[in-house]
A = this chain, B = another copy of it.
Amino acid sequence: MELLIEDGHVYTDGEAVEADVGVRDGRIAEVGDVRDADRVLDASGCLVLPGMVNAHTHASMSLLRGYADDLPLDRWLEEHIWPIEAHLEPQDIRVGAELAAVEMIRTGTTAFADMYFGMDEVADAVDVSGLRASLGYGIITVGKDDDEAREELNEGVGFVREYDGAGDGRISTMLCPHAPYTCDEQTLREAARAARDEGVTLHTHLSETDGEVRDSVDSHAERPPAYLESLDFFDGDVYVAHGVHLDGDEIEMLANRGVGVAHCPSANMKLASGTAPVAEMLDAGMTVGIGTDGPASNNTLDMFKETRHTALVAKSREGDASVVPAREALDAATRGGAELLGTQSGVIAEGRPADIAVVDLDAPHLTPRHSLVSHAVYAANGGDVVHTVVDGEVLMEDGHVETVDAGRVTAEAEERARRLAERTEAEA
């Protein structure tokens, strides 16, 4: 074996069993009693989980973490986020993605989906970090003329062609028309067609706010899902983010069309968008993953927080403590997200990519061990992760990130964020 994760409690088939995990050629070769390997990670007294999959984020927004909070969505965007984003330089986007990568590795996230601009910088940061990612350029055509709109789509398609399969195959790509309300009809239709032609996933924001639904009815005489359906948007491999304001018929339609959803509970609460009907989505058979959304509206990339929220918010919303039990939430955070990203990771089983997060259980808040699955969802933090492995490569051992210089990245992020805020405020 190339790598042995030794003597842990391995989460597999919904429960934690004592086993070693052996890795060969980047894949899980054996779950059981494994001996001899080139490298050994000690997992005694640890819970060995499939790596968390962050199914929806905007990683480079880590540079805007805490820049503006506690504001209504429109003022937050128009008065703060868009003005500062207009001053982002390519190296800011690069450093923001590196900072996010370090945070994700430290908190046990092994794969993420990202939609933003300057995506070549994000892809390079992913490549170096060793993470797995599904990346797409966020196509926005609102306020643009036809030529500019075509350029936006071309940028998205160009990124797909250049980067799909990059990073030794760890990088896949998506086509990402940002939202039905930020793209014109023709672009939405053509982006969907281009995704099918290129053989990549289509990803967009959908029904995030009540206002978005009302505006769609005003503009298109249809709610957002019906509007997109009329544009043949759901004909290929598609998943959406949020889905807070989907009704029962829409959930059924999306489930029947094989459309998945990335649920982002913290951001939905922080921006007062509402709470998504996750229990209904799961019941309908939709593939549900979990996302942090951007770190400016969360404000972390800690998937353990989101997994806990997924269970808690669903119970509160439905008035039923039995909905979305720990195992369902954990499976959404791992296997569900992996399915949305189109990767075989998210499950610890022979033949699967070795994307693994090891949680140290030797902590008062993880004592006693009545149920390790309960602890993973209700009690653990991202900070409890000690080892992170992607594609069989060790990205972190004993809390030390090996692929990225965390000290250099945080110092550079701090400095670049300060200058970015100064540039933005000088112009305001």
A266 on interface, CB distance cutoff 8 Å? yes
- A268 with B76: CB separation less than 8 A: no
Q: Tell me if B300 and A418 are in contact (CB < 8 A).
A: no
Interface of A is mostly: helix
A300 touching B417, Cβ below 8 Å: no
Residues of chain A in range 278-301 having any CB-CB distance to chain B below 8 Å: 298-301
Cα distance, A411 to B374, chains bound together (Å) = 19
Q: In the complex, A272 Cα to B370 Cα: how many Å?
A: 22
Selecting from A114-122, A163-171, A361-369, the interface stretch reads: A361-369
> Are B383 and A301 in contact, with the CB atoms below 8 A?
no
Nearest Cβ in chain B — how far from A371, in angstroms?
Answer: 4
A315's nearest neighbour on chain B, judged by CB, is B272
Interface flag for A81 (CB, 8 Å): no
Q: How far does the Cβ of A269 sit from chain B's closest Cβ, in whole Å?
A: 4
Contacting pair B70 A316 (CB below 8 A): no
Q: Are A298 and B378 in contact (CB under 8 A)?
A: yes
Q: How far is the CB of A179 from chain B (nearest CB, A)?
A: 18
Q: Find out whether the CB atom of A364 lies under 8 angstroms from the CB atom of B321.
A: no
Q: What residue in chain B is nearest A376 (Cβ atoms)?
A: B66
Partner-B contacts on A (CB < 8 A): 62-67, 69-73, 76, 99-100, 102-103, 106-107, 266, 268-272, 274-275, 298-302, 305, 311-313, 315-316, 318-322, 324-326, 362-365, 367-371, 374-375, 378-379, 381-384, 406, 409-410, 413-414, 416-418, 421
